[in-house]
Amino acid sequence: MRAALELIAEKGPAGVTFAEAARWAGVSPAAPYRHFRDRDELLSNVALQGFERFGAMLSTAWNDGRPTPQRAFEELGKAYLAFARTEPAYYSAMFEAGIPLDSSSELLAASERAFTVLRSASDALIAQMPAKSRPPVLMMALHIWALSHGVASLFGRGDAARRALPMSPEELLEAGVLVYLRGLGATKD
């Protein structure tokens, strides 16, 4: 697994083969087959570990909406970006390896737990809005996820795929989320 992470960091998920992972790990070419059915199962396990770490990081940042849902929401965005920056190999395995989440019930559950943190945060913010103007929670969570993922993937990564930006990724994400939430009426000017 460590060798696969190192290969992903250096070559991306497409650069991971069983033979190359075995060579990096210093074991025989047949050794990975004792633990994994094939390359996809290896990458699925790396992605599973990534989603577990990601979910834990998001949950810690959300902190059950403390001290306020707005402040905790900002911390959640920072944690999303921090994960992409500090764990680029996991991030790549999770989102770029092309492994279907339903290829493993454990992988699907771990990815859902991570998304549930974002959905819970969206629900907490929506709950503060007048009942007649509340958007669907899932819609808001998906929009915020897409915005966060876009900023993280383009500007917040910790690998060579990071693009230059005249502001920090955190500032860009904060501004984008603020504009979005104001448009929904979820924040006051």
User: What token pair was written down for 183?
Assistant: 């448009």
**Tens digits of per-residue pLDDT, 126-180?**
999 888 889 999 999 999 999 999 999 888 777 666 777 888 899 999 999 999 9
Beta-carbon neighbour count of residue 77 at 10 Å? 24
Q: Tell me how far apart the alpha carbons of residues 77 and 90 are, in angstroms, rounded to a whole number.
A: 18
Q: Tell me how far apart the alpha carbons of residues 18 and 41 are, in angstroms, rounded to a whole number.
A: 11
Report, as ranges of residue numbers, the positions in the chain whose pLDDT lies below 70: 159-161, 188-189
For residue 37, what is the DSSP state? S
User: What token pair was written down for 128?
Assistant: 């503060």
Distances in Å between the Cα of 156 and the Cα atoms of 39, 80, 188 are: 28, 9, 28
Structural domains in the chain?
43-184 (1.10.357.10)
What pTM was computed for the model? 0.90
User: Cis omega before residue 100 (within 30°)?
Assistant: no
For residue 134, what is the DSSP state? P
